[in-house]
Structure 1
Amino acid sequence: MVLLAPSISALRKLIGVCEDYAASHRLMYNVKKTEYMVFGVAGKKSPNNVLPISLNGILLKKVTHFKYLGHYIADDLKDNMDIERERRALTVKANMLARRFARCTVEVKVTIFWAYCTPLYAGVLWASYTQVSLRAMRSQYNNDFRTLMRLPRFCSASAMFAEARVDSFMAVLRKRSASMLNRIRGSGNSLLKTIATVIPCEFGAVVVASATW
């Protein structure tokens, strides 16, 4: 469950509503698993002098980042941590595929690479990051394909992808971002349509921020 509020006082009111609902329905929130995060302004980190927030009389822990539906959200709205998460996950998957399918044909390897390494979970939400993080992710994507196909480490990335008819890292990111934007624009939800038309992004993706408590 996630609560999103514009201020500490508003968040306290929302928590109060939850407390009343839980009490009237004989439910209990797990305070140990409940955290809150304060977003910074214009990409800056959140302030430290924040008034305490409690749930059922117990103070909650303030965090600088949290994982929501598998995607890391940071208080400075930077995506570097989530890019690193995806880079590590891609490494694990690629190494596993390289071991298990080492003797398969090129066609089979290309198919499994498409299926397991190109989804880039939550990649369409990346909008604020350092070039160092993105380059590391792109290099990992290229090296994992080389490893799976048993190609020389320093062979041309553009040539190997073109020969195998596989999208490069940037091509995958742009296609998935465009696909997400089209789905949002085609939605019947007026709020989603508004977000799709007013929020620019380098790859055409839309970022919807969340907070936890």
Structure 2
Amino acid sequence: MVLLSASPCGLSKLIAVCERYAITHGLKYNAAKSELMVFGVRGKCLPTVPALKLNGNPLKLVNQFKYLGHIITSDFKDGADVERERRALAVRANMIARRFARSSTAVKVTLFRAFCTSFYTSSLWVNYTQKQYSALRVQYNNAFRVLMGLPRYCSASLMFAEARVDSFSAIMRKRAASLISRVRASTNSILAMFASRLDGAYLNHCSALHVFDNM
């Protein structure tokens, strides 16, 4: 579970609520596996945060942690999560290429779609460098080339079109559009507020994906 607060005092009160709940229901939080993160403000140094405790044990202050498989950082940058996905893609692609080298083209394409096109939580990426993004795109393209036994420098757009597999840019656009659609359809008041903001960072990011990826 995650607790969010705008101040150390507020977070301390939330922790106290959890501690009381645990005692009432015969539970106990593991302080050794619990961590504290302070999100910074762009252009400013991180504020000094007093020691916060859970069950009398101080919480470890970290700069990043993985929540539901997605790496969250204190500076709101997504580079670490992009790299996580790139490495995971490399492992999955190498496994398929090694185990199914003698399979038919149809089987390889099906396996590639199933194991190499998910890009878990990629729809949340907004703040990353072009180098990090390009490295993931190259990894995706090369994974398909290796699996299909294609030349290293063959046209990426052509090989995906012939196999009827989405290119990297197409996947990113679909993921972004899907998230926007789901947020706008939500009945949650907070999500509705974000969806109504036409000047939001995420909406601008998604628009850029559609514009620049097609240029």
Give the TM-score taking structure 1 as reference length: 0.90
The aligned residue for residue 25 of structure 1 is: 25
The aligned residue for residue 72 of structure 1 is: 71
1:145-160 residue pairs with structure 2 within 5 A? 145-160=144-159
Matched, 1:200 2:201: yes
Relative to structure 1, the CA distance from residue 204 to residue 9 in structure 2 (aligned partners, 3 Å threshold; closer, same or farther) is farther
1:68-107 residue pairs with structure 2 within 5 A? 68-107=67-106
Matched, 1:59 2:62: no
Please give the secondary structure, in 2, of the residue aligned with 1:4.
coil
Please give the secondary structure, in 2, of the residue aligned with 1:72.
strand
Matched, 1:7 2:7: yes
Q: Contact 1:174 / 1:204 at 8 angstroms: preserved in 2?
A: no
The aligned residue for residue 127 of structure 2 is: 128
Per-residue deviation, 1:141: 0.3
Identity %: 57
Relative to structure 1, the CA distance from residue 127 to residue 177 in structure 2 (aligned partners, 3 Å threshold; closer, same or farther) is same
Q: Let me know the Cα RMSD of the aligned residues.
A: 1.7
Deviating above 6 A after TM superposition, structure 1's stretches of 4 or more consecutive aligned residues are none
Long gaps (5+) in structure 2: 209-215
1:203 counterpart letter in structure 2: C
Q: Contact 1:90 / 1:117 at 8 angstroms: preserved in 2?
A: yes
Relative to structure 1, the CA distance from residue 46 to residue 14 in structure 2 (aligned partners, 3 Å threshold; closer, same or farther) is farther
Relative to structure 1, the CA distance from residue 4 to residue 204 in structure 2 (aligned partners, 3 Å threshold; closer, same or farther) is farther
Q: Contact 1:174 / 1:203 at 8 angstroms: preserved in 2?
A: yes
**Structure 2 Cα separation of the partners of residues 14 and 97 of structure 1:** 46
Give CA-to-partner distance per residue, 1:31-72, whole Å, 9 cap, x none.
Answer: 101111000113x68626321111122111000000000000
Matched, 1:177 2:189: no
Bigger shift: 136-145 or 16-25?
16-25
Please give the secondary structure, in 2, of the residue aligned with 1:66.
strand
Relative to structure 1, the CA distance from residue 185 to residue 146 in structure 2 (aligned partners, 3 Å threshold; closer, same or farther) is same
1:41 counterpart letter in structure 2: V
**Structure 2 Cα separation of the partners of residues 9 and 113 of structure 1:** 49
Q: Contact 1:173 / 1:203 at 8 angstroms: preserved in 2?
A: no
**Structure 2 Cα separation of the partners of residues 68 and 41 of structure 1:** 21
The aligned residue for residue 209 of structure 1 is: none
Q: Contact 1:177 / 1:204 at 8 angstroms: preserved in 2?
A: no
2:91 counterpart letter in structure 1: V
Please give the secondary structure, in 1, of the residue aligned with 2:177.
helix
Relative to structure 1, the CA distance from residue 187 to residue 121 in structure 2 (aligned partners, 3 Å threshold; closer, same or farther) is same
**Structure 2 Cα separation of the partners of residues 176 and 204 of structure 1:** 12
1:2 counterpart letter in structure 2: V
Aligned length: 204
**Structure 1 Cα separation of the partners of residues 124 and 172 of structure 2:** 10
Per-residue deviation, 1:25: 2.5
Long gaps (5+) in structure 1: 206-213
Q: Contact 1:38 / 1:46 at 8 angstroms: preserved in 2?
A: no
Q: Contact 1:181 / 1:204 at 8 angstroms: preserved in 2?
A: no
